[in-house]
Structure 1
Amino acid sequence: MEGTMCSCRQLLLEVYDKMNCDDFRILTFLAKDRVNRKRRKENENILDFFDLLERKAIIKCGPEEIDLWFLKQAFLLIGRNDLVSTLVRVGRGSCKQPEEGLFVNIRRKLLYQVGEETGQEELQNLKAYLSSKVGVGKRTLDLIQDVWDCLDVLEERLSDSEMFPLLKTVYAGDKNLSGLLDDFIKGIAIVGATGGQTDKAPVQEVGEHVQAQTHALGTQVEDRTGSEEATFDPTPSGGSTMTADGALSGFSATTLPSRLGAYDKGKNAGICIIFNNEIFANTNTHPTRNGTNKDRDLLEYSFKLFGFDVRVYNNTTCQEISYILGEIQQIDHKDNGALVVCTLSHGNLNVVSGACGQDLLINSMTSLFRADNCPSLAGKPKFFIFQACQGKDTQDVWHQTNAPVMAESDTNLFPNSPMAEVMTEVPHLHQLNLAPAEADFLIAHSTMPGYVSFRNDKGSFFVQSLVKHLKAHSPREDVISILVEVNRDVSQTIGQTSGGQIAAQIPEPKVRLTKKFYLFPVETEV
């Protein structure tokens, strides 16, 4: 145990060496609910602050127990994945549920989001409101150096019922942030799902029946099948056939359209990671995901067909997912054509759930493979597939096309559930493609932000449809065109809640590719 404790202390020293002043300032802000303002001002040294967190049992680094969950979550939130990777080296794989209070709650995360969205113009507006609306004097205003100081003063002077409406007024021009603030003001525990409803019953998938996972405050919901059968048929549709070695007959790479150019398929297809979470630590908040193993097996079969080195991980915690992806990041991908990461789990807006029951930022997964973080994958397609809910609302339909089917969902949001507080920021689509390091990503979500994604005991309609169309149309069509086919397929499947409400689902691909991306069946048996 002494060796483990020393290792823990050493890692905290490594983290200290890598942190900058901004990281420290934000960390103290995120810990504010547990450490009062006066004590934070007195502890300007990062190591002293770590000691203070340990004395208050916010983190533990002793011989009997090591618990760095708070720091890991905070560093994930601020995008310091390198610090998370450092901390993961201690206690990796534990699925123990940490104390709820040790996590950054939804209120603190929302204020952090406000801080992150604040530029110089917004900061001046905030200070003007502090002067005119809150009555803060010039001496105090002169001491405000950044937005975090501003938020400190607001929290000291105003109640939440006063502060959040004021913030909404200041940020009225920011549609995403204004929606977040409005939801919080309304008491909706879905950060980012603007106007989301709170007590939706589970949707049932078309033509498929499962025993509903009920909960005292509502059940979960997931995907649907399309008008075509969603289960995987090894024979491609449209008359295409497979040759004995697994290659599609009648297609050739030399005949592909090239107006935009195509990514090089590489000496090797690449690595495909599949995270398949079926069973969770707390089945009350995260019911068992029946049917997910069908999705896992089809994805594994399909990407092996396309020549990928497929690695499957079942029931992985957030720590394990971060560690595994960190290991993949360190691999030399120079001979690989692409990277594929499939995550099948419960989820919410911008997060997926680990088997431990906690949430992991999707951005923390994808950003590991930015061009500046993983140079050997620069200029190569990174294909992320997420079969998970992005909220708990159900999509409405304007007409009914098919008979509705029973299903359950992969959302983890139950009103008043502790898990409902593990939330993250809203996506900013206008920021995509702004930096070259962010290029060459294709992120395929099974549903739109704010909404549930459906699944039943035969698997999810999104994954089933995706596998079917990839196999039927590659390499005649590029992956983006195939995802549009999947959108059409899934959108034609109509779900129905136990109360008879009709609901629909449409997937959402996020495209940052700069060329056409094709998948090629290999010429060897799988």
Structure 2
Amino acid sequence: MDFHKLLYTISEALATEDLVALKFLSLEHIPLRKQEGIRDPEALFLALEEKGMMEEDDLSFLKELLFRINRIDLLTDKLSSSREEMERELQIPGRAKVSQFRYLLFQLSENITTDELKSLKFLLIKELPKCKLDNEMTLINVFIEMEKKGLLAEENLEILKTICEKIDKSLLKKIEEYELDRNVEMYITEEPGGQTRVSEGITHVSQEQTTGPFKVRDSLWPSQTASDSPGIQEEIQQPDMYKMSSRPRGICVILNNHDFTKARSEVPKLQNIKDRNGTDADAAALRKVFTKLHFEIAEHKDLTAEQIRHTVHVYRNMDHRDRDCFVCCILSHGDKGIVFGTDGQETSIQELTTSFTGMNCPSLAGKPKVFFIQACQGDTFQKGVHIETDSAELDSSVEADARFQLECIPDEADFLLGMATMKDFVSYRSTTQGTWYIQSLCEHLEKSCPRGEDILSILTAVNREVSRKNDRLNQGKQMPQPSFTLRKKLIFPVN
């Protein structure tokens, strides 16, 4: 069926309450001010199409919307999907485009009774104008007014929880389950002088949540005051995106180890370790792409373990208050849980990443800290049909970077760790063209950032590309593995 004819057919089948729900679930993509003129589903679909959220060859957001409002009949009959398919699809990290917060509010609106809604409005009588609480106001309308007044936000659910506790504890339970799913404990302490210091800890993460190519651990961050938060008007723009407007965006530190002569001469067990030929091609690619993304580049070459720790210490103690992000790229040999300095001594990966937690580096608290690690995590070859590698014993053009474990990301929000390969397996480096992972990463960043794609979508594309490469000698393959505690979408704008 023709794309626009399909949208028209679906819009004809949607009721008024469906349109209200669809508009509410789309607020992160179409601001309230622009929604005021939308009177029918066709207009909403057109607005979403203009935003790039709905295209002829990509109906994923439309499918998600229909699934969220429980119009499974349209999902099945018009889009050839199903409830089960959408449930599987939306479990994939980064795939859902309706925010968890927005969907929580919609679920609450679907589960509240008429009497409970009256009670909720009564309890808000001092907070909202009476005209906003008349009998015609739905709970969705009330939520919108609360957001405008700064009474409700993704990181500010206390007022809503207090009210739900009074009118229906089952509603409160839904909110608590939502918070539990985010695996966050928030601790706010008052510092001398009246300043507020915020730190976060991650609660237990189940085994199901930590398997697969991603570790998904979201977090919350304290809300702005009501005077700072005009609600969901366009000025807020994308509340589920990290701010990325400073110039420079931040510092991109490149720790590039090539010459391991000292390690071979001083550490007996590393007497056969090779120089990392080709690593300069990776460093050059990283410099190029992160310069285009408006980062300040700081490259450090051939550092001993102590020099790596000292360098990280310097950047940890810098004032990053005027920067929106921090990026660190480590190109070196390694082993379980560590990277090698050029002297063959070890430096803990976890020690390096943990240096930038909110407690250790307050000026980066609440901001994304991104680490890309190029090194093997073992010496095992991943077998596959028609696939290539970055290991030491292949041929003259491909070498290995040794190994390290994955338990290197702090249990705190706003970290992204991009690993070249999965635990126990080798990664591949051409001695002339650089590594599969870093070269693919830079290529996709350069191609996808101008299109506004978020970093997790980009890393998924990197996974796909690298996994398709072939080691003709060993029939091996490589699968990169990101892990993260990001709370929002991380997008690197080029403008």
**Higher normalized contact order (CA 8 Å, seq sep 6+, divided by chain length):** 1
Bigger Cα Rg: 2
TM-score range for the pair, normalised by the shorter chain length: 0.3 to 0.5
